[in-house]
Amino acid sequence: MSGDRNQCVLVTGGSGYIGSHTLVELQMAGYDVVAVDNLANSNVASLFKFYIVVCTVPVMPSEKRKSVLVTGGSGYIGSHTVVELYEAGYDVVAVDNLSNSNVEAIRRVEKIVGRPIPFHVMDLVNMSAVEQVFDEHTIDYVIHFAALKSVGDSVFQPLHYYENNIVGLLNLLKVMAARNIKNLVFSSSCTVYGEPQSLPITEGHPIGDCINPYGATKFFAEIILKDVHRSDPSWNIVSLRYFNPIGAHPSGDLGEDPIGVPNNLMPYVSQVAIGQRPHLNVFGSDYDTPDGTGIRDYIHIVDLAQAHITSLRKLDEHCGHKVYNLGTGTGYSVLEIVKAMEKACGKPIPYKLCPRREGDVAVVYADAALAEKELHWKTKFGIDEMCEDQWRWQTKNPHGYGTSKKP
């Protein structure tokens, strides 16, 4: 097209069947394109060949963009949340010590959102490093993911978990308080509930009777945050108790890439399905469940990430200290997940029944009604979509990110 700049076309329903094909023709004809879609009956993966803006939630005007510090930003949940933050109109600063993540995740996020991301390799246990990040950037909110997270490892390395997860949080809170930045979304866990006394689990369920040190670190962190708000009500804090995130970004470019042997079920299942491991070890086949294997509430990683956007809006309401469960409200057993993954990949997944793993409970699933009511958040993806997106990630990235952990 002639002129100083290309003309720009807004395409509504841009990820749909007709819309996505029209995008191709528009770009070939020389137009710039902005696509919007609510993804109610389409898939965002159809758009990743374009440099476009995908709007699934209201986007704030550029003159009002606020900045979010994301700790653990190259991790599984953190990296997906960074994508959602950019698409919702926030600026992001990401930090990570790369102890159980890969800097390539940040590169993939930059590809998806079409812009560079300020990223610092640093450890929250190092107070001076935390202070330096806050000195270099203007921060409005903090989303705190950074933590060691393996239930099994925490049983054998409790001191390491307490130091990393608690000291890191304390350093972060001290630096935030000193700079009068008092808006925090905290990554908690359903492990704070311990052995469920009733199901589904509501936020009113007793907490603290944790059966592993990882869960205990999350419980102590919540107590710390409660005390911080009690001592200074100007703090606004949302603690999100995750159930079991699985799946991957619909593009297949972003997913869970554990260092070493996977501790979580889904990456282990995926590696067996693609032939990297001979079989899946199923820990516990004698639980009081229909098939004897443990039952969990699995939630799509994108649904989980989007809850952090609605949580930031809750902070804007000067909400005080709030706690929410994030889950689907439906439990699936390990063997049901295996069957769903077999459906997604089209091949059998061999497994071996093993003794129970210390620190695991039999059945856990959420009542997330409070998050739906107060955060206006609800899950969109079912178990089949979770497995399909996971398999797309695994086949597209058979060795994960497959690059050096160093920037």
In 251-368, where does DSSP find H-type helix?
265-273, 301-316, 334-345
Structural element, H or E, at residue 321 = strand 321-326
- CB 218 within 8 Å of CB 188: yes
In 88-212, where does DSSP find H-type helix?
104-113, 127-136, 151-156, 158-162, 168-178
CA separation for the pair 377, 371 (Å, rounded) = 6
CA angle 145, 328, 239 (to 5 degrees): 30
Out of 90, 161, 214, 401, the active site residue is 214
Residues 6+ apart with CB under 8 A from 211: 191, 194, 195, 359, 361
108-115: long-range contacts at Cβ-Cβ below 8 A with a sequence spacing of 24 or more?
Answer: 108/79, 108/253, 108/254, 108/401, 109/79, 109/82, 109/83, 109/254, 111/253, 112/48, 112/83, 112/249, 112/251, 112/253, 112/254, 113/82, 113/83, 113/86, 113/87, 114/51, 115/86
Catalytic status, residue 214: yes
Catalytic residues: 214
